[in-house]
Amino acid sequence: MLMATIRVWLAFAVFAQVASASFASIKAAQAERNVPVTYARQEIVPGSFLIEVGGGSLSKRDGAAHLSRILSHLASPRSTVDNGTSLPTFSATRQLTARPSLFHGAVIEVDDLNVLEKLAAGGESTVKEILQGLHGVEGVERAWPLRVLRGAAPLRMSTQRRAETTESPTFDAALSASLAKRGATNFPPPSAYANDTFSPHVMTGVANLHNQGILGSSDVKVAVIDSGVDYLNPILGGCFGPGCLISFGGDYMIDSPGPTPYTDCSDHGTHVTGTVAALANSYGFSGVAPGVQVGHYRVLDCDKSAPEDRIVNALLAAANDGVNVINLSTGSRIGWLDVDPTQLVVERLTTQQNITITVSAGNGGAAGPFLAFSPASSIGAISVGAVNVEQLPAFPAQVDPFGVLPYLSSTPLNTTNLPTSDNGYPVYFTSTTSAVTGDACDSLPSSTPDLSASIAIVRRGGCPLETKMSNLAAKGAKVALIYNTPDALNLTTDLEAGTTGLAVVASLRYEEGTQLLQWYNLRSGNIRISFPQGMAPIFIEDNVSSGLVWSLSNWGPTFELFGQPSLAGPGSNILSTVRLNEGGFGVFSGTSMSAPFLAGCAGLLLSQRKSDGLSPADVRALLTTTASKRSTTHDKATIETVLRQGGGLVQVDKAISTRTIVSPFELMLNDTAFSASTQMIMLRNTNAFPMQYNVSSSSAQAYAAYENNASTDPFISLKPQSISPQAEQISFSTQHITVEPGQTSAFTVTILPPTFSAAELARFPLYSGYIDISGHSNDPSHAEELHIPYFGLAAAMRDMPVLDSTAKVYGEVAYPFITSDNFTIFDAPGALSVSQEFTVLLRLAAGTRFFSVDVILSSDAPPTTIPTQRRGIPSPNGSRRRDTPTATEAGSTSLHANIARATSTPLFDATPIVGTIARIALPSHRDYFADRAPNDFTERQFPFIPNRAAFQMQQSVQYCVLVRALKITADPTLASSYESWVSYPFTLSS
Report the percent of the chain where pLDDT is more than 90. 68
- Considering the domain boundaries, does residue 940 fall inside one? yes
Give CA separation, 58 vs 104, 485, 888, 890, in Å.
13, 67, 50, 52
Of 743, 767, 799, the residue at which a domain comes to its end is 799
Of 117, 148, 179, the residue at which a domain comes to its end is 148
Regarding whether 783 and 877 lie in a shared domain, the answer is no
pLDDT digits 0-9 by tens, 918-975: 888 778 888 876 444 345 678 888 888 998 888 899 988 999 999 999 999 999 999 9
Q: What's the confidence (pLDDT) of residue 31?
A: 54
- Considering the domain boundaries, does residue 589 fall inside one? yes
Give the type of residue at 280. A
How many structural domains compose the chain? Answer: 5
- Considering the domain boundaries, does residue 28 fall inside one? no
Segment 478-507 shows an average pLDDT of: 85
Regarding whether 243 and 137 lie in a shared domain, the answer is no
Regarding whether 816 and 778 lie in a shared domain, the answer is no
Regarding whether 565 and 456 lie in a shared domain, the answer is no
Regarding whether 398 and 352 lie in a shared domain, the answer is no
- Considering the domain boundaries, does residue 158 fall inside one? no
Regarding whether 575 and 471 lie in a shared domain, the answer is no
Regarding whether 957 and 810 lie in a shared domain, the answer is yes
Regarding whether 200 and 118 lie in a shared domain, the answer is no
Phi and psi dihedrals of 623, rounded to 5?
Answer: -70, -40
The domain spanning residue 287 has which CATH number? 3.40.50.200
CA dihedral for 264, 269, 272, 278, sign (positive or negative): negative
pLDDT digits 0-9 by tens, 537-573: 999 999 889 999 999 999 999 999 999 999 999 999 9
If pLDDT is split at 50, 70 and 90, which confidence band does 261 have? very high
Q: What's the confidence (pLDDT) of residue 950?
A: 81
Of 477, 506, 539, the residue at which a domain comes to its end is 539
Contact 937, 844 (CB under 8 A): no
- Considering the domain boundaries, does residue 751 fall inside one? yes
Regarding whether 842 and 734 lie in a shared domain, the answer is no
Dist CA 597 CA 623 (whole Å): 12
pLDDT over 70 (residue 522): yes
Dist CA 395 CA 737 (whole Å): 52
**pTM of the entire predicted model:** 0.90
Q: Where on the phi/psi map is residue 289: left (φ > 0), alpha (ψ -120 to 50), or beta?
A: beta
Q: What's the confidence (pLDDT) of residue 17?
A: 32
- Considering the domain boundaries, does residue 25 fall inside one? no
- Considering the domain boundaries, does residue 19 fall inside one? no
Helical residues (DSSP H) of 142-192, grouped into ranges: 173-179
Dist CA 759 CA 268 (whole Å): 45
Segment 358-366 shows an average pLDDT of: 93
pLDDT digits 0-9 by tens, 284-309: 999 999 999 999 999 998 888 889 99
| Structural domain harbouring 865 | 802-989
Alpha carbon of residue 967 to chain centroid? 23
Regarding whether 808 and 792 lie in a shared domain, the answer is no
Regarding whether 878 and 954 lie in a shared domain, the answer is yes
The domain spanning residue 420 has which CATH number? 3.50.30.30
The domain spanning residue 679 has which CATH number? 2.60.40.10
pLDDT digits 0-9 by tens, 20-45: 445 565 555 555 555 677 777 778 88
Task: Catalogue the active-site residues.
Answer: 226, 268, 592
The domain spanning residue 118 has which CATH number? 3.30.70
Report the mean per-residue pLDDT for the chain: 87
Report the percent of the chain where pLDDT is more than 70. 87
Q: Which residues contact 887 (CB under 8 A, 6 or more apart)?
A: 861, 863, 864, 895, 896, 898, 899, 902
- Considering the domain boundaries, does residue 867 fall inside one? yes
Regarding whether 873 and 985 lie in a shared domain, the answer is yes
